[in-house]
Structure formats: C-alpha cells, structure tokens
Amino acid sequence: MNMKQTFLYSALHRDARARRRLILTELLHALAVLGACGAASLAIDQVFLGKGSLSTTAPVLLVLFVMLGALHFIGLWQSRLQQSLSGAVRKDVREKLHARLLSREGQTDQRFTRELLPLALESTDALDAWYTRVLPVVLGIAITMPCLLLAAFLVDPMTGLLMLVTVPIAPFLLYLIGRVTREASEAQWRAMNRFSAGLAEILRALPTLKLFARERAERQRVRGLSEDFAGAALRVLQLSFVSAFALELITTLAIAIIAVSIGLRLLYGQLTFSAAFFVLLLTPEFYQPLRLSGTAFHSGMTAHTAESSLLKASSVAPATRGVSVVGAIAPKGVQVAQVSLSPSSTREESLTVCDLSFRYPGSPLPLLSGIQFTVPKSSLTVLAGPSGCGKTTLLRLLAGLLLPESGQIARADALSYVPQEPHLYNATLFENITLFQQGYDEASVRKALKALCLSDWAEALPQGLMTPLGEGGQSLSQGQRKRLGLARALVQDRPLILLDEPTAALDERTAATIREVLLALKESGRHTLFVISHDERLQAAADTVLDLDALQTDGAATRKGGDCP
C-alpha cells in the first residue's frame, strides 16, 4: 500500500520537517549515549586505577553530567515530537470519519453509524501506540544501533563482531511471533467491535425489551459478547508476554556472552580497563531497542489492525455530479461544486433551491425530485405537507446535514438549525443554550429566555443558569425543550433560521409564545425564517406557505404569494 494512503505513515510523509527532527534527535541521542559511556568509563578508570584526585576527575564528571542531562532533554524532545505527530494523525482520522458521517452514504449507512463510536474512540486512539512505542524502536534500530555498533568495532572489534552475530536472532523471532499475533490482534478488534455494536444496539432497544420482558434474555447476550472480547484480549496479552520474555531472554544471553568475553580478555591483558568498561556499558544500550521491540511489535500489530478498519470506514465517496451548495461549508474530503449568484439575486433572496433531488441509498425511487423555490429575505416561509413526504429531509438538506443527489442550494453562510427534538446535553443551562461556544454572555442568554417566557423558570432553578441539565440534572418538559432549542437560535442571532415543527405537541399558550417570537424575528428585518409546521395559525401569519407535494409535481406551489425561480 502507498504510504500516502495510510494513516500511520501519512504524517511522516507529509511533514518533512518533523521527519528530519526525529532523525536528528535520535542521532543526538546516540551521540549522548556514547559520550556518557565514554565519560563514565574514563572517570572510573582515573579514580580506580589512576588514583586521580577530584580536581583531575572533575572535568570528566562534568562531561558525564552534561551527557546525562542531554539524554533527559533529548528524550523529552522526542516524546513531544511523537505526541505531535500522533495528535495530527488522530485529528485527521476523526475529520475523515466526520466527513463520512456527513456524506449521503454515511447518513443512511446504519452499520457505519453503529460502529462510529468505537472507531472514533478506541480504534483511533490505538494509532497513538505506533508513534509513542513503535516509532522510537524503529528509529533506535535504524540510527542508534548502527552508531553504537560502529563505536564498538572501533574500540573492540571482537565485541562488535559478537554484537553483529547476535542481532539477527531477534528479528527472526519477531517474524515467527508476528504470524500468530496478527491473527489474534484482528480477532481482538473484531470481538471489541461486536461487543460495542451489540451493547449500543441493546441500549437503544432497552425500552422495547422491557416492554416485552426480554431484558433478561439480552443480559445473557451481553455477557457472551463480553466474555468473547475478554478471551480475545487475553490471548493477545499472552502472546505479548511470551514475545517480550523471549526477546528479554535472547538479549540477556547476548549481553552475558559479551560480558564474559570482555572479562576474559581483560583478565589476560588483551583490553585496557577503560576500553573494556566502555564497551560493557555500551552493550545494554545497544540491545535496548531490541528489548523494547517485543511490546512495540504487539502495539504495532494492534495499530495496523485498527488502521485497516479505519481506512475502510473513513473512505468518502465523491459528491454526486450536478450538486451545488452555495454558502455552505462542505465537509473535508467531500468535493462540492460552487455556483455564483448575481448581486441582485443575493440582495433580494435569502434561500434559493433549484431542481433539488434526493434519494436514500438502496431506494429505487427518489424521496425528493425537482424541488425548486425561493425564499425572500426577512420573510417567514412555512413548509407544509403530509407526514412522511420528506419535509424534515429537505430541511436537513438546506442545513447541510445531508447532500442532495442533484440540484443547487444557495443560502447564507450563517444559519441556525432547530430540529424537532432539540438535543439536551449533560451540561449547564448556559452551556446548553450557547452550545459551549465562547463569546456569549449571560445577558444575551437571559434576554432569549425572557423572550420565550422562561426567565422565571430559569431564576427558580437551584443554580440559575449554571444548573446542570440532562442525565442526573434538571429535567425539562417537551415545551421547555423546544423553547430551549429556539433560545439557541435567538442567542446565535444568525440571518437564516431553519425550524422543524417548533409548535408541535405543545399547549396553546406555549405555542402562542413561540409564534410571537417567530413573528418578532421576522419583523426585525434581520432574520429569514424557514419553518416546517402543521400549525394553521402559523401558516396564516406566514408570508409564504409551500406545499411539498405540489413542489414535486410542478416545482411551484404557494398558497399565498411567492414565485419559483
């Protein structure tokens, strides 16, 4: 596979500066190791055999401390570079998953949406181990080991020869272990994905299961999935421990052979003490990357297995030809053609839809076909039609949450989208209204709550605007939840507001409050409202009422005013 097409190697391939820094830091690390070993052997030789005083040994000790300090700071620099690369790759992966989720295929692929959470969390985080564990070992084998081997040959050729002979044993052993580890690692990820998807499915269906008294039977299924995942994880851990033990044993035996060789030749006067002690200190450092390669190899196999599932899931199909969204920000990785509007059209119209069609993947017939209409600025337009005809789908297309099969959408960049069931986050009331965005103050939030007759309720909460909502916090009625969604749009104060059934299933008093707010927004002259609603009073107050069924028939249907482009 091309390096550019993989997540693990793409960051190194793109960022030549980071690649050069990694090589430089590893080379400096090797030189610092050589300097520390040389200074330590010389200092001990001066004190032990030369009977040197503190004044003669002090410069060598100073060099030793400098080398040790350099090793520490070089290690911190390397760790920072590795974390930076890892963060960039994981951000890129999550952006691609997000782009896939916003694509037409991702919106309708139920299997992808079920697997999205484990892919975005566990699978993406598994890539971090490649940069923090595997990459240091690879650089150590490629740069540090040759440098130390060359130094050993220059000081003591026999030790260098022993190092050279014992090194190939470890890669051969890793090759044998890898053939088994790959299968076990893939089995572990498959078990984890089954467990995550199965648990999420059961949680979604829990009310239905309790309704039909089937929750006890599903408990056994969860237990079985959990045991399968635990068994697969334990098998991988067993192989990891065995490989780490085997490599530790091999490197320990190699170090022991070299140490015995050095001791015998020192005993017979074939080596000086400083040279013997230098290569003796050098030997464990030489084998250190191989000792770490056991656990690093396991982490690498896990990362590659996670990467393969991410590559399959994050592939984004190109946008359908003929689709244009003007003023919308396309997801990264999705190509969207641009169409320019004339200045006069831009001044008079806030939203224009031309020949819009949409089909859910796998469906033989399009849900929407040939839709076209224009919404003037500072107007209130209501979209009507029977349930299930595609009104919410059209609104999601206008918001940019779905991509059409063909057609053009021209609208403003800044908009607010209020779904039929606004999501309630496990956060404070203030954060739920501002959606965690910076730049909003309490005054604007209180003003929005007052306009929606929620100020008294908010003041009566235990902690006011800082009262936690959601699970474990303050609960909200359906009317309060709908008004909370509209409060978000009031605080955002954007020129185009899209709303889905804002008055549905509400008492008349609450519905009247919402109608008054919507009319006030229109009368301000700064907002254009496009609303899905069956509310006859809201339709009567609207500037334009569009019938979706009629729009699909002849492309122009208004009960009061308005013409198609």
What are 200-235's pLDDT values in tens digits? 777 777 777 776 677 777 777 777 777 777 776 777
Distance CA 371, CA 407 (A): 8
Assess whether 384 and 494 both reside in one domain: yes
Is 222 among the domain residues? yes
Domain that holds residue 76: 3-313
Q: Is the pTM of this model over 0.95?
A: no
**Residue 464 pLDDT > 60, yes or no?**
yes
Give the pLDDT confidence of 107-126 residue by residue, as tens digits.
Answer: 556 566 666 767 787 788 88
Q: How far does Cα 495 stand from its chain's mean position?
A: 31
Bridge pairing between strands 349-358 and 368-376: antiparallel
Domain-terminating residue out of 253, 288, 313: 313
pLDDT at residue number 328: 37
CB count within 10 Å of CB 45 equals 20
Q: Which residue has the higher pLDDT, 485 or 339?
A: 485
Q: pLDDT tens digits, residue range 172-202?
A: 776 666 666 666 666 666 676 667 767 777 7
Model confidence at 560, pLDDT cuts 50, 70, 90, reads very low
**Selection from 281, 257, 500 nearest residue 401 by Cα:** 500
Q: Which of the listed ranges 25-39, 212-226, 538-552 does the model predict with the highest average pLDDT? A: 25-39
| Amino acid 107: pLDDT | 59
Could you give the CA distance from residue 225 to residue 62 in angstroms, rounded to a whole number? 59
CB-count exposure of residue 6 (10 Å: 0-12, 13-18, 19+): middle
Q: Is-contact 522 537, C-beta < 8 A?
A: no
What is the reported pLDDT for 513? Answer: 92
Give, rounded to a whole angstrom, the gap between the first and last alpha carbons of the chain: 49
Quick: pLDDT tens for 505-527: 888 999 999 999 999 999 999 99
Average pLDDT on 93-101 reads 81
Query: Does 284 lie in the same domain as 344?
Result: no
Q: What is the CATH number of the domain that holds 337?
A: 3.40.50.300
pLDDT digits (tens, 9 = 90+) for 304-358: 777 877 887 766 444 443 443 343 333 333 333 333 333 334 445 679 999 899 8
Out of 224-228, 470-474, 475-479, least confident range: 470-474
Identify whether 236 is part of a domain: yes
Residue 318 lies in a domain: no
The rounded distance, in Å, linking the Cα atoms of 180 and 175 is 9
Domain boundary among 267, 295, 313: 313
Q: What's the structural domain count of the chain?
A: 2
Cβ contact 242:177 at 8 Å:
yes
**DSSP run (H or E) holding 350:** strand 349-358
Cα(251)–Cα(169) distance, rounded to whole angstroms? 9
| Residue 93 shares a structural domain with residue 214 | yes
For residues 246 and 275, state if they share a domain. Answer: yes
137 and 220 housed in the same domain = yes
Q: Is residue 224 part of a domain?
A: yes
Query: What does the pLDDT read at residue 81?
Result: 92
| Rg of the chain taking only CA atoms, in angstroms | 33
Query: For the chain, what is the mean pLDDT?
Result: 81
pLDDT at 6: 72
CA–CA distances in Å: residue 357 to residues 336, 362, 372, 563: 15, 15, 10, 19
Six token digits for residue 504: 């549905």
Pair 33, 53 in one domain: yes
Residues 371, 232 share a domain: no
Which ranges of 205-316 would DSSP assign to H, the alpha helix?
206-211, 215-267, 273-313
Q: 351 with 411: CB under 8 angstroms?
A: yes
